[in-house]
Amino acid sequence: MNRGEAFDIETGLPESMYRKERSPTLLRVAREYLNHVWPDLSPNSRGRLVDGLAVAVQGFLTEEPDAEPAVIRRLLTTFALPPDGATIEPTPEGLELAAWLADHSRQVVELADQDGVTEVGRALRTNLDGKRAANSTVDTRKGALVQALGFAVDKTYLGKNPFSGLNLVKFRDVQAVDPGVVVNPLQARELLASVSYVRPRGRNRSWRPFFAALYYGGIRPSEARFLAEQHCELPRTGWGALVLPNSLGRSAARYSDDGQTYQVRSLKHRADTATRTVPIPPVLVRLFLDHLDEVGTGPDGRLFWGKDGAPISNASYTDIWRRARLLGLPPRLAGSMLAGRPYDLRHAAVSSWIAAGVPLPDVADRAGHTVDMLTKVYAKFVHGTRSTANRKIEMFLDDDLD
Question: Can you tell me whether residue 328 is helix, strand or coil?
Answer: helix
List, for residues 331-357, the tens digit of each pLDDT value: 999 999 999 999 999 999 998 888 887
Burial class (CB in 10 A: 0-12, 13-18, 19+), 26: buried
Residue 78 · residue 90 · CB < 8 Å: yes
DSSP character for 134? P
pLDDT of residue 374: 79
Give the H/E segment covering residue 276: strand 276-280
d(CA 328, CA 331): 9
Ranges for all domains in the chain classified under CATH 1.10.443: 184-337
List, for residues 267-287, the tens digit of each pLDDT value: 455 445 577 889 999 999 999
d(CA 13, CA 11): 5
Amino acid found at 359: P
Question: Can you tell me whether residue 171 is helix, strand or coil?
Answer: coil
Question: Is the pLDDT confidence value at 245 over 60?
Answer: yes
Backbone angles phi, psi at 12, to 5 degrees: 80, 5
Q: Which long-range contacts (CB under 8 A, 24 or more apart) does 259-262 make?
A: 262/225, 262/311
pLDDT of residue 381: 47
pLDDT of residue 208: 93
Q: What is the CATH number of domain 184-337?
A: 1.10.443
The DSSP-derived string for 227-241 is -BGGGEE--SSS-EE
Q: How distant, in Å, are the alpha carbons of 54, 166, 313, 321 from that of 300?
A: 38, 48, 16, 25
pLDDT band at residue 382 under the 50/70/90 scheme: very low
d(CA 280, CA 81): 45
Question: Can you tell me whether residue 76 is helix, strand or coil?
Answer: helix
| Stretch among 216-225, 271-280, 304-313 having the lowest mean pLDDT | 271-280
| Stretch among 103-112, 116-125, 161-170 having the lowest mean pLDDT | 161-170
d(CA 235, CA 369): 27
